[in-house]
Amino acid sequence: MISTLELRHIIECGFQPLSCTCSVNPDGTLMIKVFDSTSGRVDLLVTAVTTSELTSSRAIAKLIAELRAEMAAHQATGVAVLAQ
């Protein structure tokens, strides 16, 4: 099992060169916020990512790829806010 601290670090690094913060909610889910550090513009906010299936590097990479696709799809309309 991957520790929450390590999981957060992997996810945050997965969105570089954009800035990303990943925090743990009281219920154990993750909140992921991807933003432009210069302007402060939030490109993606996911409020409840469950960690139970994020047990391998492949699963984490898949999550990051899916979120990057959501960001690209919503780029023209503004912030992509997702609740998983």
CB 20 within 8 A of CB 12: yes
pLDDT of residue 78: 55
The phi and psi torsions of 4 (rounded to 5 degrees) equal: -60, -40
Give the CA distances from residue 23 to residues 9, 34, 78, in Å, rounded to whole numbers and listed in that order.
10, 12, 22
Q: Give residue-wise pLDDT tens across range 25-40.
A: 999 999 999 998 888 8
| pLDDT < 70 positions in the chain | 76-84
- Which 3 state secondary structure label does DSSP give 48? strand
- Strand 30-35 vs strand 42-49: parallel, antiparallel, or unpaired? antiparallel
% the chain with pLDDT above 90: 65
Look up the pTM and report it.
Answer: 0.84
pLDDT of residue 75: 73
CB 62 within 8 A of CB 49: no
pLDDT of residue 5: 93
Distance, in Å, from the CA atom of 44 to the CA atom of 37, rounded to the nearest integer, reads 13
